[in-house]
């Protein structure tokens, strides 16, 4: 893979959208079953995934469902996503004002059989579509969920033109009413970018040498 690095038992690949990282653990199987590390704080931090993660969420969705796009603006969430059942198309959109990648998106098809995960940095909008009959998704978050702080962006925003892989999706009433990115851009603070300007895979030896902003500063905002 291009732009791929590895530490013991874990591989990571930078996607075309800097900061959105695909992770794949080594899976060990034998006649009894299988084993793998689904999370290791030090190893994930070596790839620029800072944490700390403070909340785990779980969802079960029927086929053809789209959840998203969602983000929190005052306390943005970094998210580490994995699929426990089925297959989803996971979508990340850079909506940080001032980012050179503003308005760009990337999608990754995740399945329970691949054991892959995706990290979505704080300040990005996130959503997924269900490509299988149903799907179970689990994700870790760097800040707690706050409904009053969350905004949504329309799944079918024509300027984004995201390929979700589904037609006539099942949506919540809230997601069906979401506006376009251009309609909410005035609500997005500049600090979404300044708090998280560095998004790249980092080797373990480079983590501190890179001069990263402390985790608490990068992933928490107080207005």
Positions annotated as catalytic residues are 70, 139
One DSSP character per residue, 146-214 reads -GGGEEEB-TT-TTT----S-SS-B--HHHHT-B-HHHHGGGS-THHHHTS-------GGGTTTTTPPP
CA-derived radius of gyration, the chain: 17
Tokens representing 24 are: 């794949």
CA distances from 135 to 33, 37, 61, 66, 192 (A): 22, 21, 5, 11, 31
Cβ-contact 22, 108 below 8 angstroms: yes
What dihedral do alpha carbons 48, 117, 97, 182 form, nearest 10°?
A: 180
111 close to 165: Cβ distance less than 8 angstroms: no
């Amino acid at each position: 893979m291009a732009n791929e690095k590895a530490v013991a038992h874990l591989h990571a690949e930078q996607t075309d959208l800097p900061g959105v990282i695909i992770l794949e653990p080594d899976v060990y199987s034998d006649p009894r079953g299988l084993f793998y590390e689904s999370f290791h704080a030090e190893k994930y931090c070596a790839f620029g995934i800072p944490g700390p993660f403070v909340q785990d969420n779980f969802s079960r969705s029927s086929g053809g469902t789209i959840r998203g796009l969602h983000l929190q603006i005052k306390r943005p969430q970094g998210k580490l996503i994995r699929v426990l059942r089925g297959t989803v198309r996971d979508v990340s959109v850079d909506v940080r004002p001032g980012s050179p990648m503003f308005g760009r998106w990337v999608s990754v098809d995740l399945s329970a059989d691949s054991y892959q995960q995706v990290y979505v940095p704080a300040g990005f909008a996130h959503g997924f579509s269900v490509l299988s009959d149903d799907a179970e998704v689990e994700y870790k978050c760097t800040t707690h969920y706050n409904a009053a702080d969350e905004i949504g962006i329309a799944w079918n925003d024509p300027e984004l033109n995201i390929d979700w892989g589904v037609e006539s999706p099942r949506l919540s009433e809230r997601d069906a009413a979401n506006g376009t990115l251009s309609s909410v851009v005035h609500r997005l603070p500049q600090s979404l970018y300044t708090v998280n300007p560095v998004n790249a895979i980092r080797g373990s030896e480079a983590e501190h040498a890179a001069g990263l902003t402390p985790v608490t500063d990068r992933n928490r905002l107080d207005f």
